[in-house]
Amino acid sequence: MPGKPKEKAAPEFVPARHPMEKYLRTERLPHIWCAGCGLGTALSCFLFALDELGWDLDSVAVVSGIGCAGRVAGYVRLDSYHTTHGRALPFATGLKLAKPDLHVVVFSGDGDLFAIGGNHFIHAARRNIDMTVICVNNFNYGMTGGQLGPTTPLEARCTTAPYGNFEPPFNLVYLAASAGATYVARWTTLHARRLQHAMVEALSRKGFTFVEVISPCPTNYGRRNRLGEGLDEMRYYAEHAVIRHGADPKEADIVPGKDFLIGKFVDMEKLTYLEMYRAKVAQLKGKR
C-alpha cells in the first residue's frame, strides 16, 4: 500500500537457471518485463505445460501480436511469430490451415486480442480453428504506458481515462464462450499450478480453446489504481478470486473490490474448421 514501508527481503536462493531453460531463447534474456509483472509467470506456466505434454517441439508454433504480452513469441525457443497489432489470430489461422499438423498457440494481451483484434477473435472462435489462445489480461495497455483497454473496469484510472473509466468492459470468459470457444478457463498468475493445468487441457483439446490469465501490471495499471506491487495484487487475487468450475460465463464479470470467478467454464467437443472442410472435400470427391 502507498506510504507503507516495503519489506523486500532478498530471496535466499536465486536459481541460476530457469528450470524450463531449454524452451527459452536464453541469449535474449534478461527480458523486457517489469519486476512484479505477471507475464513471466504466465510464460513459465506455458513452458511447464509444454513440458508436461512432452510434444515434439518442432510441432509447436507460438504467434503473438503487439504489446508486453506480444513479446512472449520472442522468448520461446520455438517457431515463433511476432506479428502486427491485433492480427495474431488471422496470421495463426493461415499458419494452421497451411500446416494442419502444427500445434498453434496464440499468446497475447487483452488490448491486442480484444480491442484491435476483437473481430478476429470472434471469427476464429466461430470457425473453431484448432488453436489455443492464451490471453494475459492486465486491464490496460502496458507497453504504451497504461492506456484504457477493452477490459479496463469502470472507474479505473488509465492515462487515457484520467477521470476514471466510464466505458463498460468486456467479460472475456463470456465473450469467448458466446463466440464458440470449445474450452474456456480463467485463472490468475497466483494460481500457477492450476493455470498450468488449464493450459495443458486447452492445448490438448481440439478446437478453439481459450485461457484468460488475470495478471498484474504493477508499473501502469497497478500504480495508477493504487493496487501496490505485484505481490499486493497476488494478495488481492487470494482474497477475491473464487474458484467455481462450470459457472455461467455471464457471471464472470470483474468488478474491482468484489469477488470474481475463476475456473473452467466451458469444456466441450465440436467439429473444427479443418474437420468440416475435410468432410466437405470428401463429400465433393464422393459425388464425382
Partner 1 sequence: MPPKPVTLSGVHFMNGDEAVAEGAIAAGCTFFAAYPITPQSEIAERMARRLPQIGGMFIQMEDELAAMAAVVGAAWGGVKAMTATSGPGFSLMMENLGLAIMTETPCVLANVQRGAPSTGLPTLVGQGDMMQARWGSHGHYEIIALAPASPQEAFDLTVKAFALSERFRVPVLVMTDEVVGHMYERVEIPEEVPIAPRRKPQVPPEEFLPYKPDEDLVPPMACAGEGYRIHVTGLTHDERGYPAMDAEAHDRLVRRLVEKILRYREEYTFWEEVGLEDAEVAIVSYGISARVAHGAMELARKKGLKVGLLRLITCWPFPDEIVRKVAEKVAGLVVVEINLGQIAREVERVACGRAPVVGVYHAGGRIHTPEEVLSGIEEVLKDAG
Residues forming the site for ligand SF4 (CB under 6 A) = 33-34, 37, 39, 68, 138, 142-143, 217-220
Which set of grid coordinates corresponds to residue 129? 480453428
DSSP 23: G
Q: Which residues contact 253 (CB under 8 A, 6 or more apart)?
A: 171, 174, 260
- Cα–Cα distance, 162 to 254 (Å, whole number): 20
Q: Which residues contact 237 (CB under 8 A, 6 or more apart)?
A: 188, 189, 190, 191, 214
**Which 5-64 positions form the footprint of partner 1 (CB under 8 A)?**
25, 27-28, 57-59, 61, 63
Q: Do residues 98 and 117 touch, judged by C-beta distance below 8 A? A: no
**How far separated are the first and last CA of the chain, in Å rounded?**
72
Q: Which does 217 bind (CB under 5 to 8 A by kind): partner 1, ligand SF4, none?
A: ligand SF4
Q: Is 87 in the site for partner 1 (CB under 8 A)?
A: yes
Residues 18, 77, 205, 224: which binds partner 1 (CB under 8 A)?
77
Q: Which does 219 bind (CB under 5 to 8 A by kind): partner 1, ligand SF4, none?
A: ligand SF4
- Shortest gap between Cβ of 164 and partner 1 (angstroms)? 32
Q: Which does 148 bind (CB under 5 to 8 A by kind): partner 1, ligand SF4, none?
A: none
- Cα–Cα distance, 41 to 39 (Å, whole number): 5
- Select 136 or 177, whichever has its Cβ closest to ligand SF4: 136
Q: Is 186 in the site for partner 1 (CB under 8 A)?
A: no
Residues 20, 97, 247, 271: which binds partner 1 (CB under 8 A)?
97
Residues 99, 193, 244, 245: which binds partner 1 (CB under 8 A)?
99
- Shortest gap between Cβ of 16 and partner 1 (angstroms)? 23
Q: Is 123 in the site for partner 1 (CB under 8 A)?
A: yes
Q: Is 108 in the site for partner 1 (CB under 8 A)?
A: no
3-class secondary-structure state, position 141 = strand
- Shortest gap between Cβ of 214 and partner 1 (angstroms)? 27
Q: Please report which residue ranges of 38-112 form alpha helices under DSSP H.
A: 39-53, 72-75, 88-98, 110-111
- Shortest gap between Cβ of 108 and partner 1 (angstroms)? 13
- Of 140, 146, 147, 76, which is closest to residue 107 (Cα–Cα)? 76
Q: Do residues 61 and 203 touch, judged by C-beta distance below 8 A? A: no
Q: Which residues contact 24 (CB under 8 A, 6 or more apart)?
A: 18, 47, 75, 76, 77
Q: Is 101 in the site for partner 1 (CB under 8 A)?
A: yes
- Select 7 or 58, whichever has its Cβ closest to partner 1: 58
Q: Is 284 in the site for partner 1 (CB under 8 A)?
A: yes
CA distances from 50 to 18, 131, 157 (A): 15, 14, 36
- Shortest gap between Cβ of 158 and ligand SF4 (angstroms)? 12
Sites of contact with partner 1 (CB under 8 A): 25, 27-28, 57-59, 61, 63, 73-74, 77-84, 86-87, 89-99, 101-102, 119-120, 123, 277, 280-281, 284
